[in-house]
Amino acid sequence: MKPDIIVIGGGLAGSEAAWQAAQMGKKVCLYEMRPEKKTPAHQTGYLAELVCSNSFRASSVENAVGLLKEEMRRMDSVIIHCADMHTVPAGGALAVDRELFSKEVTRMLEHHPRIEIKHEEIAHIPWSGVPVIIATGPLTSDALSTEIQKVTNTQALHFFDAAAPIVLRESVDDTKVYYASRYDKGGSDYLNCPMNKEEYLAFWQELKDAAVQPLQDFENDRFFEGCMPIEELAKRGEKTLLFGPLKPVGLDHPNTGKRPYAVVQLRQDDAAGKMYNMVGFQTKLKWPEQKRVFRMIPGLENAEFARYGVMHQNTYIDSPRFLLPTLQAKQSKQLFFAGQLTGVEGYVESASNGLVAGINAARLSSGLSPVVFPQETAHGALCHYITTALADIFQPMNITFGLMPDLEFPVKDKKLRRQKLSQRALDHIERLWNKIQMDKEDDSE
C-alpha cells in the first residue's frame, strides 16, 4: 500500500493520529519500532502502551482534562473509546486496565482497512512527498533524535519522568487500610494507608535519605513538576508531602471518624483488582530501597511489588520556535509533530495532540488548509500554549482552564465558571467538527 500519510510512533499520540487520518479517508502507514527494538520503559509491543500511571485523570467536564476527554469523544477518538471500554474503579477519574486498553487500541488499528502497521525503527525522516507525523514520544530513539535536532536546528530539551510502583493487592494488610475516595467523591475506590505523626516522620526521614539510581545516560537533573519523584518532594521539607501525595484532607478514617496525620493512596491498576498503583509515588529510588522504604507504610509491611518504580528521560522539542498551532513545522509544512515530543504532558494531552495532527495531515493531503482549533477549546488552548509560550522558559504543560480565554462576562462562582467554560468549548468543538466532516464529504465526492 502506498500511503497518503506516514506516522512514526505507535504510542497514544501516534495511534490517535493514524486513526484520525484513516477515518478521514487516507491510507496511513504507521511505524512502531517495538517489539523489534525496545525502550527503557516499555514492556510490550502493543500500541498505546501505558508506561506510567493507568489513570487518564478526572472525568468531569468541570475539570480541564475531563473537558479535553469529552472533546475527544465528540471527535471519534480511538484512545478515549478504548479507555471507556476498559475502565477500572477510580473515584472521579477515568482509569483503565492497562493491558486490555492497549490490546484494544492495537486491535482496532490492525483491523482498520486503511492502516498498515510496520514494526521497524525509523532513523531518518522519510521525505517522500506525503505528510509525515512524528509522534515518537519521550523515548525517541537516539538516531531519530539526532535527525530531529538537525531539522529543528536546535538542541532537544530534556526532563525526567518517573513511574510509580505497583503492589499486589493480596499482599496488602487489610487490618491497617481502608477504602475511601477524598470527600467520598466517586465512591470508595482508593485503598488508603493511614499514618500517625511518628510513622510519617520515620518514613519521611528514610525516604529523603534513600539511595537513588545514578543518572548515567541522562544529561542533567531537571525534573518536570508534574512528575516529581517522591523522594525529591521529601527533600523539600518535612511537611511537603503532607500538602502533596500524602495529603490526608477529606480522607477521615471510617472507623474513628478522625483524620490521619498522612495517607498513602493506592489505586486499582487492572480490571481484576489484583494490582494497585501507589498514587503520586513516581520514583528513581534503587529497587532494594523501594522495597525497604515503602514497606514502612502501614499496610504495606509485606507488600509484593508487581513493578518497581522506574525513571526515564523525556525529550521534547522547542515548539514555540518551531511549530505552528496546526502542529506543522514552520520550516516544512509537510512535517507534523504530535504528543509529548511537542511539550504536552499527560496521556490525554498527548492523544489529543495526535488527534489534531492526524486531522490536519489528512486535510493537507486533500489539498485543504489545516485547521487551527479555537483557543476556547481545550485542544486549541493546549496547541496555542505550546506554540506561543515564552521559548526561554518553555516547559511541558498539562491542560488547565488557565490556558483558555476568560468568559465574556466574568463569573465569580468557580464551579459555575468552569461549567460555562466547558459548555463554550464544546459548542466550538461541535461547530469545528461539523465543518471538518462537511469538508471531508466534499473531498470524497
Report pLDDT digits (tens) over 289-304.
999 999 999 999 999 9
For residue 181, is pLDDT > 90?
A: no
One-letter amino acid of 153: N
Q: Which helix H or strand E contains 7, and what residues bound it?
A: strand 5-8
Lowest-confidence pick of 103-107, 148-152, 156-160, 393-397? 156-160
pLDDT in tens, 33-86: 887 776 666 678 899 999 878 999 999 999 999 999 999 999 999 999 999 999
C-alpha grid cell, residue 326: 496546526
Give the pLDDT confidence score for residue 31 in this predicted structure: 96
In this structure, which long-range contacts are made by residues 287-291, counting pairs with CB atoms below 8 Å and at least 24 apart in sequence?
A: 289/210, 289/211, 289/212, 290/165
Q: Which residue has the higher pLDDT, 187 or 58?
A: 58
275 closest CA partner among 191, 207, 180, 181? 191
For residue 345, is pLDDT > 60?
A: yes
- Cβ(177)–Cβ(322) below 8 Å: no
Q: Which residue has the higher pLDDT, 77 or 159?
A: 77
- Cβ(49)–Cβ(43) below 8 Å: yes
**Chain centroid, CA 304 distance in Å:** 26
C-alpha to C-alpha distance for 88 and 85, rounded to whole angstroms? 10
- Cβ(49)–Cβ(102) below 8 Å: yes
HSE-up (13 A, CA, CB side) for residue 41: 25
Coil, helix or strand at residue 193? strand
pLDDT above 70 covers a percentage of the chain that reads: 92
pLDDT in tens, 245-291: 999 999 999 889 999 999 999 999 888 888 899 999 999 899 999 99
Coil, helix or strand at residue 329? strand
pLDDT in tens, 92-114: 999 999 999 999 999 999 999 99
C-alpha grid cell, residue 83: 479507555
